[in-house]
Structures are given as C-alpha cells and as structure tokens.
Chains A and B, each alone.
Chain A
C-alpha cells in the first residue's frame, strides 16, 4: 500500500522543467534555472540563505561547461546535490551541537516546521535528498538517481526508508 502511494506521487508530480535552447546562453540558463537551483538547495540544506550561496556556487560551476553539456539541467542538479552534500557533511557535527543548545528556544519557524526540519536533518544525506527532492522539488526518480549517482531502484529504497524514519520521528 505504501509503495503504491509513493508510486502515485511519482506519477502525479512530474516536473514541467523548461528546456534550454540548443545554443546554450548562460544568461538565459541562469534566468531559467537559478530559482530552481535555490529551491533544490533549500530542500537539501533547509536554510534559504545557505541555499542561495550553494545555488550561486553551482551556477558558476556549470558556466564554463555549459557549451559542451548535452543536459545542462542535469549537470546543475548533480552539482547542487554534491555541494549540498559537502555542506551537510561539514556542518553535521556543529549543527547537532547547535540544535542541542537551541532546544526549547524560539526560532523563526513554526513548531511543526521546526519539527519537520529536525526530522529531515536526522536522515542520512541520501535519504534526505531523495525525499525532499522527490516530494517538494518534484524531481523524478531518474533525476534523483542521476544526481546521487545511483539506480532509480535505489532511489525508491531511499524514499521508502526516509518515509519510514520520518513517520517515526514525527510521531514520537
């Protein structure tokens, strides 16, 4: 039943991603994808300001390669995911300590949002990436698999595990 639900989501949330012109112009690419890159990064790091930095950095990484890329959006997706992974790894330890010290203190978000952000943060990076990119950023399983460097079947496993963990975290 759960797998069916996940499959339904995958079908109904297929993105309508614009495709750049054959002659790739960076300005056009930037205009088309910049906001998406920020959204993707937000899903991955849970912080808008950091997401903007990561998205900008990823855009700049894509720029010199743009003329030779068959799938610039795919390259950008993978770049954002990789850079967010680096950020996540470097910040994991300090974040845990800060969250610990900030427990019970008011934050900028609602309690339910904080609860969900905490649950997402508790997931291994690949699971977090899979679930946030799938259900919030509207990536397909294939796009997530490409960005994470795994098979689409693995993405479905990651989604299943992530959803199970999130349910447990949220219900506790």
Chain B
C-alpha cells in the first residue's frame, strides 16, 4: 500500500467517524450558556474534591467504550440486592486518607512536560463509569488478588464482575462468596487474610500526571486516587513485583510499553508508564523514580501543605458565599448541590449537602423513582460550614451580569516557557487540595503567555493565603465567592 492509498483510507475512516451524529452543530451559545458549560466541566472535578458523589455531563453515543469488560478470569453475577452506593458517598475507612505524594523521574535526557492535576471531566457514556474494588492477599498479590468491577446499568441493579490472579477457580469462587454488600463501602471482604487495596471509579478521581519526554521515548508518572490500577494485573497476563521509590510496585507489560503501579505511603496510588521504545531501559528508569515530598527542592516557596495552619483552612460560617451551580438533586438523602449530572434517568450527581432549601423555592423540578432534581444554572447564596451549604436566600436563575468575571488577560512574559512556570505549579500541587478545596491545577504556556491555573470550590481566606505567594502567576477560578 502506498502513501496515497493509506491517506485516502484514513480520510475515509475519519470522515465516517466525523459524520456520525453530525446533526448537533449548535447555535452560538450565549455567555450564560457557555458559563454554565464551564461550570459543568469544573464542577465534575469539584464533586470529587467534595468527597461525595460524582456527576458528569455525558453523551450517550453508543460508542465501544460502553462495551463490558471481560476476560478469561471474569465471572458475572447480577445480585438483586446489590447496593447502589457510589464511591465517595461514604468515605472508605479502610483506605487511608491521602496526604499528597509525588514522584519525579531523575534520568538524564528526560525533560518534564506540564503536570496536569484534574479530578475527572472525562466524558463517559451513560450509565456512567464502572467502580472498581481490589483486595489483595496479606501474603502478597502474587498469592492472591481479587478485583470486583461494579458496572452500573441504565435501569436496575449494577452488574458485578470478578477478576482474580494467583487463585484457582475453586479458590476464587470461595473468596468471591465472602464478598458481601457493605454499609460504608459498596462491598466488603471480611477475611483476615485479605486487605482492601483500592476503591474508586475507572477513569475517575483526582490524579496528577506528568510526562517526561526524550528523543527515544516517554515516561509518564501519575499519582492520585485509586482508579483501575490493579485490574490489569488480573487480566490473565503476568506481573512482577518490583521496588519503586521505596514502595512495592507491580510491573506488567503490554503492547504500548511497561507499566508499574504501586500504593504510595500516603495511601494514594501511583503509576509509571515507560513507552515500548524504552524497553531496554525499564529497570534503569524504574530505579530513577524518586519520591518528592511536599517540601521538595523543586518548589521555590515556603508554601507547602505542611506549612498551612489547619485552623485557617476551615471556612467562616458567617461568610455569605454566592456562586452558580448546575442544579440541585435529592436522591432520598436530602438535597445536594449538583455541579454536574450523569445523564441517566433519573440523573445522578450531587455533592455538597444543601440546607435551607425547599423544592417550593423553584418550579422546574422533576421526580422519578424517588429522585427529585432540577437542572440548569442556579445562583445559590448562603453560608458554608465546611460540610453543608445553608441558603440565606432562595435560589435564582443567574443574570448575565452575575456571571463570574472572566480571568484577567495574562500579560506576555518574555522568555516564558513551560519550564519557567513549573516552580509555580509545584507550589500549587504541594498544597493540600482536599483541605483547601482545590479542584484543578495545571500550567499553560502559549505565545509568550504563561500562567498556572487553579480551580477551587470556595474562595476562603485559607485558600487566598496559600496562593498569595504566587501573585499574578496563578489564574484562579472559584465557584463560590464571598458576597460583598
């Protein structure tokens, strides 16, 4: 096949993909519409930081990504009594709450690219993402790994699928039988010989990613919530136990390269990906990964998680905040602020509990199967005690004039590059995102403009104090701001 034929076939293929559902070219959105859309994107990450249910605006397009995950080691059951608890609705007590960990690659010839910290904001077709739980044998994963995939369905109980490693079919069936619905966690494995290693949603969760490039290949490091780190180990292949940055890691290889996953001392999960072109240097590169503490020398400021006085991280309950959200939902456990929804029917979402609210305050609510919700931009005003947002006046539809101000235009900085803003990004990523309500941090450089971006839920004194040393180097977006 020559180049022309190959190009023609590629053009034909992408034409076919592009033509799919090609009837949705929208009119130019109003400022209000765009702002709402931005909040939807922001909010999906806010939800995770708030530590409660995740909501996303998604499209159901019937793409292959809805295909069930199966493997030779997979068995399927559909219990009628499967719980519907979603990750985050009740925090896991078995997995330690993380204090930020970070790892760096110290290898000659590798240049770090921008680090991206985000919670989610990835489009996932309805009925939503799969939840994954992983347990390991106390004697080591080589002796036993059990992964449970909880796949939501559009209408009905989720489908459960088990995968395992190091267990015979009989042993796997026996340990699967010990998995029971839990009260705090969706499922529990009350066996003293097993430990819950991870619990989270596939493709979802706070995670910071940094890629290191070289002339011969790339290395990517991620640190964050558990997503689906361990299920690849149970897909039927093999893995090795390796030491990585002082922790026990699990290494496996696929067609793209080598992966190493491990649980950081903070309780977060980390991964290392080494592209296939670097296969001959895998051992060397794994050894070049080092843990960086929040007071890593890469930061140029004293602003670290450990320097934040805990007393200043709590919001004042007398401060009145106002902000625009994407709706309110009550699934039977009280109304919650929804920054975004999963587009199932009824929808799913909701994060911060909302007090002082009554459905009589609005006239656009819908109810189905015990869930009441309203979608669309709503301006909420009230106080926040760190857990609950209490309305001080009824919700209103935001006027264009009340939209959050757009960030100031960044002044071009001579010599500004991704590397030059890295110290500022390091300062942001070293902050305690959970306590300060930080949702997204990333850097951005273009045509001599550069800054670091931060998105947070509430504009609190603690947050302002934490980012003050960065001055105008940080482009801040905050959902709820103090009134006045």
Contacts and interface: CB of A to CB of B under 8 A. Distances in A.
A64 B62 CA distance: 33
A90 B122 contact: yes
Contacts of A50: 63, 123
Contacts of B116: 86
A34 B10 contact: no
A28 to B, nearest CB: 8
Given A89-B220, A108-B20, A132 B447 contact: no
Contact of A135 (B7, B62, B67, B123): B7
B122 A97 contact: no
B134 to A, nearest CB: 15
B203 A109 contact: no
B3 interface: yes
A63 B406 contact: yes
Contact of A71 (B3, B122, B256, B447): B447
B432 to A, nearest CB: 24
A119 B256 CA distance: 13
Nearest to A154: B215
B24 interface: yes
A122 B16 contact: no
A11 to B, nearest CB: 14
Interface in A31-67: 31, 34-35, 38-39, 42-43, 46-53, 56-57, 59-60, 63-65, 67
A166 B6 contact: yes
Interface residues of B, number: 69
Contacts of B220: 89
Contact of A43 (B7, B14, B446): B14
A61 B383 CA distance: 29
Nearest to A124: B275
A52 B256 contact: no
B16 to A, nearest CB: 5
Contacts of A124: 218, 275
B64 A99 contact: yes
A95 B65 contact: yes
Interface string B337-358: 0000000000000000000000
A65 B62 CA distance: 35
A87 to B, nearest CB: 6
Contacts of A97: 69, 231-232, 235
A140 to B, nearest CB: 16
B484 to A, nearest CB: 24
Contacts of A170: 1, 6, 9
Given A49-B59, A52-B59, A166-B6, 7 more contacts: A48-B19, A57-B41, A68-B409, A87-B122, A89-B211, A109-B13, A170-B1
Q: Across chains A and B, which 5 residue pairs bring their CB atoms closest together, nearest first?
A: A116-B13, A49-B61, A68-B409, A64-B406, A113-B13
Interface of B: 1-4, 6-7, 9-22, 24-26, 28-29, 34, 37-38, 41, 59, 61-65, 67-71, 116, 118, 121-123, 125, 202-203, 209, 211, 218, 220, 228, 231-232, 235, 254-256, 259, 275, 406-407, 409-410, 418, 446-447, 449
